A and B are shown apart, each in its own frame.
Chain A
Amino acid sequence: MEQKLDYLRETASQTAGPYVHIGLAPGAAGFDIYRQELGWDIAGPNAGGERIRVEGLVMDGMGSPVKDVLLEVWQANSKGIYAHPEGGGEVEDGFRGWGRVITDFETGEWGFDTVKPGPIVPRGKLTSGVARKVQDTHPDWQGRSSERFAPMAPHLNLWIVARGINIGLNTRMYFEDEAEANASDPVLNLIEWENRRATLIAKRQERDGKPVYRFDIRLQGENETVFFDI
């Protein structure tokens, strides 16, 4: 018999179910228990960059709003740096880059206030070990360097859980007014169907002089949002 690989296996996912708010947003479930709930302040008062609001709906395959969704956002600051030890540098004091929002139980609308992120360093630089050596030296890989080393356009990373969603769905939100950066974004360009790329681009509006980006997520059917296996 062959040798065994002794890796552990990832714990299987299960749906967050209808009562996800109890655990992750108990105030919305109708009771106060924690000194502070997590994820309500994404950028903090010191963060530089443009203050924006992001809003949207999550719709199911019938086109109905999903009213029990929980979304998490993970984003860089206006300089493209993540609030993480490997995030590429220092962020403003109080900038967290992570947020958690739920939908309104009646309408399904969700939204959060944050700052617009900057462009992010390329993904190819992460490759390590054998793969890195091969890519750096083997001629077949040289032609791909533009894809590997192009900076990523400003984006928000989103993670969506709800009843009926067995494993959290990952997607990205890009910005309509970053057309040039979006056109060279290595992730958007991975999507073979150009018309599907538009499902990841939020529309910019103004409300009371403040920029509001509208980002509707369609889980299924016409204009189905692109989801990533990350």
Chain B
Amino acid sequence: MKPAEFYQRDRRLQPPALTPDYKTSVARSPRYSMISLQNSLSEITGPVFGHSDIDPIDNDLIKNYAKDGDPVGERIIVHGRVLDENARPVPNTMVEIWQANAGGRYRHKKDTYLAPIDPNFGGCGRTLTDENGYYFFRTIKPGAYPWRNWVNNWRPAHIHVSVFGTGFVQRLITQLYFEGDPLIPICPIVKTIPDPDAIQQLIAKLDMNATIPLDSIAYKFDIVLRGRRSTLFENRLEGN
């Protein structure tokens, strides 16, 4: 593909920096406006990863830290596609996830929540999308956990998701939530997003068609990265 710019980020759907109900954002949000920057080679390029960077088991959180058995909790499959705003698949891109265990406890030395660590659960995984932009993970459904924001705030069950795309402008970290979770609409972090449709887009849907009977429940979560301009009015339509 000929080098071309990406569509500008739609800041009306993205969370602004300052969202006071999420208290940590108050001191960590710039006060001046961002400087808008037309894409250059510095923005349209980005790191490239290959299968030599990872191991096949890296996307299986049920097995990738198992010591003496499987982790405890609801066995799930999280799967979907990474697409761009033109609905084209983004192949061979790195997707990384991390999460708490079934009790809402992270395997992190800074997490001191009283729910116990699961000796057989690490809580991170990574994979590359295939040629159709498809990815999947096998894991345990994470639990909700409390956090010090208001006196009684609980995060909905969520999985953190990090995606690269092909250009540094597409770099994205987000969180996956689960269909039907009543904590979603009252979470100050979810509510940093001003656009209700954009919130819905973060909620993975129960996918009975991908569920493996007597084994694992499946949730579908498609990820959309920024789209890229086509080269219009030239002899050959590229990319379309």
Contacts and interface: CB of A to CB of B under 8 A. Distances in A.
Interface residues of B, number: 99
5 contacts: A20-B173, A24-B98, A30-B107, A83-B48, A219-B27
Contact of A10 (B9, B30, B190): B9
Contacts of B168: 74, 157, 159, 230
A220 B201 contact: no
Contacts of A34: 54-55, 58, 126
B218 interface: no
Nearest to B158: A14
Interface of B: 1-5, 7-11, 13-17, 19, 22, 24-32, 34-49, 53-55, 58, 64-65, 83-87, 94, 96-99, 106-111, 122-124, 126, 160, 162, 166, 168-169, 171-175, 189-190, 192-193, 195, 197-199, 201-202, 223-227, 229-234
The secondary structure that dominates the B interface is: loop
Interface of A: 6-24, 26, 29-31, 33-36, 38, 60-62, 64, 66, 68, 72, 74, 76, 82-88, 96-98, 105, 120-123, 125-130, 133, 152, 155, 157, 159, 161-169, 172, 187, 190-191, 196, 219-221, 224-230
B30 A227 contact: yes
Nearest to B201: A11
B65 A33 contact: yes
Contacts of B223: 11
A7 B15 contact: no
Contact of B13 (A9, A35, A82): A9
A164 B189 CA distance: 9
B13 A12 contact: yes
A7 to B, nearest CB: 5
